[in-house]
Amino acid sequence: MSVRDLIPWGRHTGGMLPSVFRDEDRSPFMSLHREMNRLFDDVFRTFESRLPTSGVLSSFGAGWPNVEISETDAAIKVTAEIPGLEEKDVEVLLQDGVLTLRGEKRSETNDSERQFSERLYGRFERRIPLGAEVQEDRIEARFRNGVLSVTLPKSEKAQSQIKRIAIKA
Alpha-carbon distance of 148 to 84, in angstroms, equals 12
Chain region(s) in the chain for CATH 2.60.40.790: 57-160
Q: What is the pLDDT of residues 64-101, one digit of tens each?
A: 788 999 988 889 999 999 888 888 889 999 998 899 99
3-state secondary structure of 143: strand
DSSP letters, 60-99, are: TEETPSEEEEEE-SSEEEEEEE-TT--GGGEEEEEETTEE
Domain 57-160 belongs to what topology? Immunoglobulin-like (2.60.40)
pTM of structure = 0.55
